[in-house]
Amino acid sequence: MGTPTIGRDVDLHRTVRDRLGEQRQRYTNGRRELVDLLLAAPGPVTLPALLEARRSLPQSSAYRNLLVMEQAGVVRRLVHTTGHAHYELAEDLTSHHHHLICETCGTISDIELGARLEDSLDEAFDQATTGAGFTTRHHAIDIYGECAECTA
């Protein structure tokens, strides 16, 4: 995802504030802290990891704030079978990417596939869905397996 520039950071916070406002929610300091933590994270993170990174955040309000921001389209929640949900900023606020998901330990890492492969995928998805009368808007690919640590 990369670290945003200051201008992009301001735009991000303005967009988050506006999306929350559309849901009649305020962009509180606690929500801003969570956005900053998610922005700084190298990939999707669990609630316990967020709380570890910022011990001043109360668990119950952090969970509620993530839920509110998910409903407002600010946060995406990724769930799989190994335990805690992972959270990240919505893709349209950061960059298009996919995930590697370790089925053993539950870690989730971001990967980018490159423009040529993304274009090929978009074309293949459009061809596959056109016959069904389905209009493709975007795609997400999660690749499941074992991370390097669990394989070792």
Report pLDDT digits (tens) over 91-122: 999 989 999 999 998 889 999 999 999 999 99
51 in the same domain as 36: yes
Confidence class for position 7, pLDDT limits 50, 70, 90? low
Among 59, 38, 56, 37, CA closest to 48: 59
17 in the same domain as 89: yes
Supply the CATH number for residue 25's domain.
Answer: 1.10.10.10
In this prediction, residue 3 carries a pLDDT of 44
79 in the same domain as 66: yes
Phi, psi dihedrals of residue 75, rounded to the nearest 5°: -120, 145
The total number of structural domains in the chain stands at: 2
Contact 121, 114 (CB under 8 A): no
Among 137, 66, 93, CA closest to 1: 93
